[in-house]
Amino acid sequence: MSRWLTLVVALAFLAGCDGGGVVDTTAASGVVTTVLPTAPTTAPPTVTRAPSTTMAPISTTTEPRYLAPEALTVETFQVPPGSRPHDVAPAADGGVWYTAQDLGELGWLDPETGETVHVPLGEGARPHGVIVDDEGTPWITDGGLNAIVSVQPTTGVVTVYPLPADRPDANLNTAVFASDGMLWFTGQDGIYGSLDTGSGDMTVYDAPRGRGPYGITATPDGDVYYASLAGSYVGKIESDGAVTVLEPPTPGQGARRVWSDSAGAVWVSEWNSGSLSKYDPGLGEWATWPLPGDSAAAYAVYVDEIDVVWVSDFGSNSMVRFDPATEEMTSLALPHDSGEVRQILGRDGEVWGAESAADTLIVIRTR
């Protein structure tokens, strides 16, 4: 069997069963744990890997060589039909987690073989975001369950952390781990909150200006910022849980997602203005760059390990690479029309996204 043996086998079995043998237990804290049934030793299902584009050669020297922008290409991986993958998160074992939003499942892709395995998250699940903690456990923001959900990668145990009863239909969006291990999350209905993943304690706050909290990020110094799409601002969450509202230069810009670079600057994708902005907390200053074209719609933003910024543009159906050192932008067309990449994440040498409209994961290999 391949790497990630235990979970692949368990999830392969679960994907083919009707839920019989699943045991639910509810702790006093309200945390619901779903224990997967014991799985037979059967091989995981095989999924046909989509043809990939021709890749530029990767350096075999001891020092990694970063590819020039013009040498970058987009490689694709098909996922099961109807998945509508929303967010992606590289897994500790070399695979890639993704939220199969329309199926209510968490998926895992093996980039070496193209195989995928899915785990159902529960009746009514509609997973949005997924991130991975330091131990390799994926954590999901699930709008359908109105809960934070984790999947233990070695045992296949699914744990559900519901929001308080007085916070229904929060439309959960994205989560991030702060440097102290606290998980912070957003809900577009007008909330943000924190979860102590050790104790299960959760606190939910009302966001300034009501509806809108969307993307969220943590800086190397431990500060947490989120973007409010409907509110058109960036919020800094202070140590007492209160929010300081930061105003990007363009009114009504529709700040959608945020990402910190290695120096703690916060990059913002602006949906309404079609621009990329940067906030420097040390100077309290903003800078803004419009994306190429006349109909840009900046959705996702991600900063890679060498502080190059990546943005998905719905207007041009492309991934845009921005080099802060030269202020040059390079657009890479997505393989499908339309692709709709709603979130970007990566690991060294790889930038991952999901074409949610095409049931496809993509990767751009940068070295």
If pLDDT is split at 50, 70 and 90, which confidence band does 254 have?
A: very high
Is residue 230 one of the residues assigned to a domain?
Answer: yes
Two tokens, residue 101:
């939003």
Average pLDDT score over residue span 194-218:
98
Asked whether 93 and 154 are in contact (CB, 8 A), the reply is no
| CATH number of the domain encompassing residue 311 | 2.130.10.10
Is residue 16's pLDDT more than 60? Answer: no
Q: What pLDDT was estimated at residue 62?
A: 55
Share of the chain above pLDDT 90, in %: 81
Determine how many CB atoms are found less than 10 A away from the CB of residue 39. Answer: 18
Pick 322 or 41 by higher pLDDT: 322
Is residue 289 one of the residues assigned to a domain?
Answer: yes
Average pLDDT score over residue span 165-191:
98
Two tokens, residue 25:
């237990």
Residues 6+ apart with CB under 8 A from 10: 36, 39, 119, 155, 156
Share of the chain above pLDDT 70, in %: 83
Is residue 266 one of the residues assigned to a domain?
Answer: yes
Q: What is the pTM of this model?
A: 0.86
Coil, strand or helix at 46: coil
Is residue 58's pLDDT more than 80? Answer: no
Average pLDDT score over residue span 59-76:
80
Coil, strand or helix at 145: coil
Q: What pLDDT was estimated at residue 31?
A: 62
Q: What pLDDT was estimated at residue 64?
A: 66
Q: What pLDDT was estimated at residue 29?
A: 45
pLDDT tens, position by position, 81-124: 999 999 999 999 999 999 999 999 999 999 999 999 999 999 99
Determine how many CB atoms are found less than 10 A away from the CB of residue 202. Answer: 22
Is residue 55 one of the residues assigned to a domain?
Answer: no
Is residue 362 one of the residues assigned to a domain?
Answer: no
pLDDT tens, position by position, 300-331: 999 999 999 999 999 999 999 999 999 999 99
Q: What pLDDT was estimated at residue 156?
A: 81
DSSP structural state of residue 67: P
Is residue 9's pLDDT more than 80? Answer: no
Two tokens, residue 238:
């202070």
Is residue 26 one of the residues assigned to a domain?
Answer: no
Is residue 343 one of the residues assigned to a domain?
Answer: no
Q: What pLDDT was estimated at residue 35?
A: 43
Structurally, how many domains does the chain consist of?
Answer: 1
Tokens 């912070």 found at: 184
If pLDDT is split at 50, 70 and 90, which confidence band does 63 have?
A: low
Two tokens, residue 9:
């086998």
The three-state (H, E, C) secondary structure of 180-199, written as one string:
CCCEEEEECCCEEEEECCCC
C-alpha angle 270/271/275, rounded to 5°? 40
Rounded to the nearest integer, the mean pLDDT of the chain is: 87
Q: Is 285 exposed, middle or buried (0-12, 13-18, 19+ CB in 10 A)?
A: exposed
Alpha-carbon distance of 342 to 354, in angstroms, equals: 7
Residues 6+ apart with CB under 8 A from 94: 3, 110, 111, 112
Is residue 5 one of the residues assigned to a domain?
Answer: no
Task: Provide the residue range defining the domain that includes 223.
Answer: 163-333
From start to end of 250-308, where are the E strands?
255-260, 266-270, 275-280, 285-290, 298-303
DSSP structural state of residue 14: H
Asked whether 264 and 222 are in contact (CB, 8 A), the reply is no
